Structure 1
Amino acid sequence: MNVTLRVRATPSASALFLRPWTDDDVEPLVEAYRDPTLRRWTTLPVETIEDAAKWLELQRRGWETGERMSFAVYRGHFGGGEGRLAGNVVMKRTGSSRESAEVGYWTAAHARGRGVASRALEALTGWAFDVFAVEGLERLDLLHQVDNLASCRVAEKAGYGFHQVLPAQPPFPGEGHLHIRRADAPT
């Protein structure tokens, strides 16, 4: 699927564009994963070019199966020069239910605190409800570890209300938060 999402610049934040990951993202992906904070919150390690190639293959297969639609998030303007890799947003549709899906994200160290995650998540959310409503998508779930306070703030900024505390279960070592956004929620 050839999808590009654009988020306009604001007086305090640069423009963003989101697109499916490509082989051109190998080196920026490895660079982003050098950040210990990012590695702390993610479950798939990317330390080498080979790791990045495997990670990108997982993203490609996800698009092919429709189970994992993952977008590279870039700051800057589309075309001419893409800017710098700022993060990732993903929608995961596993299992038989088409009423709900899970979303996730991460932000590169240089892009944190600049509204990238919440704005990219909002773009993904709008796209998901627009594209998958016909298949019955009504709810998006966002999960994060309880001690990841930044993810809690991002969820709330993007309109994902806190729903409940979840018990620890692999691969996550501690309790988590479940945030939910419904298709009919006001924006």
Structure 2
Amino acid sequence: MPYLTSPVLPPGSLARTPQPALPAGDGLVLRPWRTEDAPALHAAFQDPVLHQWHIRSSDSAEEAAGWIEQWQQGWAEERDAQWAVADDATDELLGRVALRQILLGDGVAEVAYWTVARARGRGVAVRATAVLGRWALEEIGFHRLELTHATANEASCRVAAKTGFTLEGTKRSALLHPDGWHDMHLHARVRGD
């Protein structure tokens, strides 16, 4: 049975080219993850703040290397796109920003991010999320980007608001964390916002 509309983004919209590095200004760059990032990725996930708001942990650099391999494959399969947020001069890992749950045909993806402890309060998540949103909506042609976070995570709510993601509502008891079910805010940006 044929669809009545054409895909918003055709297959190959991402994978037809290598994953780009995206300059974020003020000494930040979003770059594809590399295998040698595994120790820094593992170290980032030892932070109790990441444990509070994320549902994964990393037991070893080898496990983190496996994540990186999955993320690299995610670009090739156009199911997710993950970037390391790094200091442009030193290449120090400052965080991560991603498009997850990509649906090219619908032109929709979910934005996710985190920062390492020493990068918090410096606008790193805001700058990285703003650059990723602009690239996804304006250069690639996504129609809608969604962003969810635990309602109690006020820092993530501020990042969403500062980067133009409108609060659309609350998804009640939507994600299981180690401390129980979290209500989640749903924010979104639509192309043209």
**Fold match, TM over 0.5?**
yes
Which fold has the larger relative contact order, with Cα–Cα distance below 8 Å and residues 6 or more apart in sequence? 2
> 2:35 touches 2:69 (CA, 8 Å); kept in 1?
no
Alignment-derived partner of residue 96 in structure 2: 88
CA distance in 1, matches of 2:144, 2:129: 14
Give the match's secondary structure for 2:51.
Answer: helix
Q: In 2 relative to 1, CA 118–51 (structure 1 residues): closer, same or farther, beyond 3 Å?
A: same
Cα displacement (A) at 1:167: 1.4
Alignment-derived partner of residue 148 in structure 1: 153
Alignment-derived partner of residue 9 in structure 2: none
CA distance in 2, matches of 1:176, 1:75: 30
Give the match's secondary structure for 2:182.
Answer: coil
Deviations 1:106-157 (A, max 9, x none): 1100000000001000011111113431xxx211000001111110001001
Worse-superposed segment, 116-125 or 34-43: 34-43
Alignment-derived partner of residue 23 in structure 2: 6
Deviations 1:15-49 (A, max 9, x none): 10011111010111111111110122122211211
Whichever of the two has the greater Rg, that structure is 2
Cα displacement (A) at 1:96: 6.9
TM-score scaled to structure 2, two decimals?
Answer: 0.84
Give the match's secondary structure for 1:44.
Answer: coil
TM-score scaled to structure 1, two decimals?
Answer: 0.86
Alignment-derived partner of residue 171 in structure 2: 166
Q: Give the superposed CA RMSD.
A: 1.5
Give the match's secondary structure for 2:49.
Answer: helix
Give the match's secondary structure for 1:90.
Answer: strand
The count of corresponding residues between Structure 1 and Structure 2 is: 173
> 1:139 touches 1:180 (CA, 8 Å); kept in 2?
yes
Q: Which runs of 4+ in 1 moved over 6 A?
A: none
Task: Say which of 117, 131, 136 aligns to 1:123.
Answer: 131
Give 1:72-111 correspondences, 5 Å limit. 72-77=84-89, 81-82=90-91, 84-95=92-103, 97-111=105-119
Alignment-derived partner of residue 63 in structure 1: 75
> 2:79 touches 2:102 (CA, 8 Å); kept in 1?
yes
The amino acid across from 1:25 in the alignment is: D
CA distance in 2, matches of 1:95, 1:120: 21
Q: In 2 relative to 1, CA 97–44 (structure 1 residues): closer, same or farther, beyond 3 Å?
A: farther
Unaligned runs of 5+ in 2: 1-17
> 1:145 touches 1:174 (CA, 8 Å); kept in 2?
yes
Give the match's secondary structure for 1:174.
Answer: strand
Q: In 2 relative to 1, CA 31–128 (structure 1 residues): closer, same or farther, beyond 3 Å?
A: same
The amino acid across from 2:156 in the alignment is: S
> 2:102 touches 2:108 (CA, 8 Å); kept in 1?
no
> 1:46 touches 1:55 (CA, 8 Å); kept in 2?
no
1:37 and 2:49 correspond: yes
> 2:175 touches 2:184 (CA, 8 Å); kept in 1?
no
Residue identity (%): 35
Task: Say which of 171, 183, 186 aligns to 2:191.
Answer: 183
The amino acid across from 1:51 in the alignment is: E
